Copies of this chain bind each other. A is one copy, B any other.
Amino acid sequence: MNQLRVGMIGYKFMGKAHSNAYRTLPMFFPEAVKPEMAVLCGRDGQAVQRAAEQLGWRQYVTDWKELVARDDIDLIDINAPSDAHKEIALAAAKAGKHIFCEKPLALTLSDSREMLQAAEEAGVCHMVGFNYRFSPAVKLVKKLVESGRLGQIYHFRAWFLQDWILDPEFPLVWRLQKEIAGSGSHGDLGAHLIDLAHYLVGDISEVIGMSETFIKERPLADEMTGLSAKSSKGKDAPKGPVTVDDATLFLARFENGALGSFEATRFAAGHRSTNAFEINGSLGSVKFDFERMNELEVYFTSDDEDVQGFRRVVATDPAHAYAEAWWPPGHTLGFEHTFIHEVLELGEAISASRQPEPNFRDGVKCQAVLEAVERSVSERRWVDLSEM
């Protein structure tokens, strides 16, 4: 198999990122399976037509059920709002399609488990969109951890800081509504940190969290997407309740004994999108910040004693993942490249009839931690993951 016929549902922020990935992959990874951008799906006919044209999709439809039913499609790519994930995924699995679903997998742990079960039973490949794993610098962390070059891991601390809703007049977009988004900063930002923790450190055994909604009410939006909106009526706009968390923090213990600290917030002035973590091991440490995604700071205890210090590694050398497909050393990549690498993994897995990583198991595992934290917040106690 060297062609992958894709049907994609959703065409906003993530849809654009995925489309770009499908289009760009063959140019830089010519050995990879070539995605065919077959059909784009969205509810608003005019808008989806325009999007299909702009993003380079051959056809478009407005009914996802129709899309899922077609037999000229191999892969269903789901990046519609979170509340739509489950139903589509179940139908896609039933129709025997491979599935690439954006995170969070579903609004609840049980929904996500249902999705995993359906996909496993259908024998299809399933992937969940934790794209940050695919930064070359994060791949380098994985390699350092797995090879033992950092030794035993003692600490993982991570924070995903944004500030786009700091202004109390910013309107009530769908990402601030629990019934559509599931949760706020926790599921949107914290989910990425949790997946990175799983990927790089291991499973989490127990958690305790704290959550807050600083601004309880916001102006209703006239028109909106998940990230932006306009509210034409200014100060007099009618308001609605914010039903998700503005910030969620939690402490965690990993099964291997490491200690974890996690913070997700949309109220950190000056941080447009600081997705950062640090790992401390017995033989070394690493620091990563997605705002400088090409860089990794690395420390080794074995360095000569007069020149010990964090090294700023720019992960664009031939020794780094993906780098040779791109530009010469020192010529950096951007946010969108994580999706191109993600789609590369997806294609390779489908070709090889194996599950891609991360897949729905990872999505479920992440959801379990998300919900355990939520339970710990509402019950004000430590929650063991075995409860979930």
> Contact residues of A with B, CB < 8 Å?
13, 16-17, 19-20, 23-24, 26-28, 30, 53-56, 140, 143-144, 154-155, 157, 159, 161-164, 166, 208-210, 212, 214, 227, 247, 249-251, 253, 257, 259, 261, 263, 265, 267-274, 278, 280-285, 290-294, 296-301, 303, 305-314, 316-320, 326-337, 380-382
Q: Contacts A259-B249, A330-B162: A307 and B301 contacting too (C-beta < 8 A)?
A: no
Q: Which residues of B contact A210 (CB under 8 A)?
A: 208, 251, 253, 259
Nearest-Cβ distance from residue A2 to partner chain B, whole angstroms: 13
Please measure, in the bound complex, the distance between the C-alpha atom of A360 and the C-alpha atom of B362, giving whole angstroms.
50
Count of this chain's copies in the oligomeric assembly: 4
Please measure, in the bound complex, the distance between the C-alpha atom of A53 and the C-alpha atom of B263, giving whole angstroms.
46
Contact A327 B54 (CB under 8 A): no
Please measure, in the bound complex, the distance between the C-alpha atom of A13 and the C-alpha atom of B325, giving whole angstroms.
11
Contact B308 A310 (CB under 8 A): no
Closest 5 CB pairs of A and B: A273-B330, A272-B330, A270-B299, A334-B334, A309-B313
Contact B13 A23 (CB under 8 A): no
Chain A contact residues, majority secondary structure: mixed
Q: Which residues of B contact A208 (CB under 8 A)?
A: 208, 210, 251
Q: In chain B, what residue has the closest Cβ to A312?
A: B309
Please measure, in the bound complex, the distance between the C-alpha atom of A316 and the C-alpha atom of B290, giving whole angstroms.
13
Most buried by B among A19, A163, A297: A163
Contact A155 B265 (CB under 8 A): yes
Besides A265-B280, A271-B330, A291-B294, 5 more A-B contacts (Cβ < 8 Å) are: A20-B27, A166-B282, A270-B310, A305-B318, A308-B313
Q: Which residues of B contact A20 (CB under 8 A)?
A: 24, 27-28
Q: Which residues of B contact A284 (CB under 8 A)?
A: 269-270
Nearest-Cβ distance from residue A274 to partner chain B, whole angstroms: 7
Nearest-Cβ distance from residue A291 to partner chain B, whole angstroms: 6
Please measure, in the bound complex, the distance between the C-alpha atom of A311 and the C-alpha atom of B380, giving whole angstroms.
38
Q: In chain B, what residue has the closest Cβ to A31?
A: B54
Question: Of B155, B320, B326, B332, which is within 8 A of A291 by CB?
Answer: B332
Contact B311 A307 (CB under 8 A): yes
17 A-B pairs whose Cβ atoms sit less than 8 Å apart in the complex: A13-B327, A16-B28, A20-B27, A26-B54, A30-B54, A144-B307, A157-B263, A209-B251, A268-B280, A271-B280, A272-B330, A273-B329, A291-B332, A303-B311, A306-B320, A309-B312, A332-B335
Please measure, in the bound complex, the distance between the C-alpha atom of A330 and the C-alpha atom of B309, giving whole angstroms.
11
Please measure, in the bound complex, the distance between the C-alpha atom of A289 and the C-alpha atom of B271, giving whole angstroms.
17
Contact B27 A274 (CB under 8 A): no
Nearest-Cβ distance from residue A262 to partner chain B, whole angstroms: 9
Contact B13 A27 (CB under 8 A): no
Most buried by B among A54, A285, A309: A309
Q: Which residues of B contact A300 (CB under 8 A)?
A: 307
Please measure, in the bound complex, the distance between the C-alpha atom of A218 and the C-alpha atom of B303, giving whole angstroms.
24
Q: Which residues of B contact A285 (CB under 8 A)?
A: 268-271
Contact A280 B272 (CB under 8 A): no
Please measure, in the bound complex, the distance between the C-alpha atom of A303 and the C-alpha atom of B317, giving whole angstroms.
13
Please measure, in the bound complex, the distance between the C-alpha atom of A334 and the C-alpha atom of B338, giving whole angstroms.
12
Q: In chain B, what residue has the closest Cβ to A273?
A: B330
Contact A270 B309 (CB under 8 A): yes
Nearest-Cβ distance from residue A25 to partner chain B, whole angstroms: 11
Contact A319 B332 (CB under 8 A): no
Nearest-Cβ distance from residue A69 to partner chain B, whole angstroms: 28
